[in-house]
Structure 1
Amino acid sequence: MRLLVVEDNRNLVANLFEYFEARGYALDAAPDGPTGLHLALTQDYDAIVLDWMLPRMDGRELLARLRDAGRQVPVLMLTARSELDDKVKSFRGGADDYLTKPFDLPELEVRLEALAARARGGRGRRVLEVADLRLDLGTLEVTRGGRALHLYPACRKLLELLMQASPAAVSRERLERGLWGDSPPDGDMLRSHVYELRRSVDGPFPRKLIHTLPRVGYRLADLDTPDHDQPDDEF
């Protein structure tokens, strides 16, 4: 899941990055309104966390311009303003949710997950299936053989990329770009996510679906022949 945080409080932004990146989210940040609007109009995000009081352009004006441009990405207003009138103005201005400071990070996380899930459902429910593996893009539910699999957002996004391309291979570069855009994290985080995904999707089942192509990338496929690929993501 990819988030944009438009917030001028550096300490708060640092806390958000620490919390969400540890859970597999990809984040961009903007310290003022014009920068936030530019990113929101030129990049694709699953949700935007938007402060009300911002330098150079406040959050309500940014939101109005975003909606005028036809962008329907979910927006959660994050602000110290708690009056009912402020909340009403935000919702009427196009906000999808409203959370007042101070707040608990787990609450923010579940609100953003719910917004992203509803947005996907609004674009039409789609289900990806490979063999007995199933990913519902509307509800974000993942099952294999009818058994629910619980994945972190980054692993779920990785699974979506692999299932959309199946049975073709997907290069490491394409997977990294799909997860983190043009700013991949330091270290081989992709390798770590593939390891976690393989452990959830293939670990409990005798037939393996995730295959490593050395020096190329990965593919998710139900192969008729035994898998001779050597995984490079074991720890």
Structure 2
Amino acid sequence: MPMTSSASHAKARSPRVGIRAAVRPTGICSLASASTPARAPAPRWRGSRATRSSLHASARLLQRHDGWRNDRATGDSLVSANPWQVSTLGGTSQWLVGANWTGALQQSVIAEWWHDGTALSDAEWDAWNSRNAALVARGAQAGLPAGLLRGVGGNLAWQASPFAAQNLRRDSLFVRLAWQPDHWQFTLDALITPSDRGRIVTAGIQWQGDRLRINAAWRVNGGPATSVFAQLPQRQTGVIAASWAF
């Protein structure tokens, strides 16, 4: 699975510019570095039994934005060029609300609700699923000419175009559990899309020495068969990485 997205079009940024990068399930930059919103390690309260908790929120209004749209192909109709194109669209909003808690033993919990109005709507994803099913059914017809079969395959491949977006669903729930004893960091992240019950779960471990750092992570995409995350090209992704500071 490519570790970075190959999409070259302009994409909307996450609601909290400079603080987090929105999850890109098809363009994971680094599973070992959490591959969900980048954030600093939780504070270590050495010698203290104190706990901390806080709430946070951010929002952004957009007069216009770039987003994927398909205005040319529906059902099992075949087209000769990719019907999915990036278009400049009207105004929308992006926002998040969240809470975090840090315990006395370097354990922490973060929970956030994200809304990204630049993502495809539920109705657009429903139409996307319907077209997928119609194309698969057409390709399964007996005696289909080879040329037409290739056309069905090409049209199905173009259906992956909307995956190259900052966020796939407009509303998402993100939860992270972390523990940082001494030189170690253990993390468990879950990104859930309530509208279709899709999920991305990532488990990670990191060891940090004076100069050497070792990371390992494993990510699983899942959910019902019609959920967007369950239809991503890769269902499981793992990585091991090491770095040495000179």
TM-score range for the pair, normalised by the shorter chain length: under 0.3
Larger strand proportion of the pair: 2
Report the structure number with the largest CA radius of gyration.
2
Larger helix proportion of the pair: 1
TM-score if structure 1 supplies the norm length? Answer: 0.22
The higher-RCO structure (CA 8 Å, 6+ apart) is 2
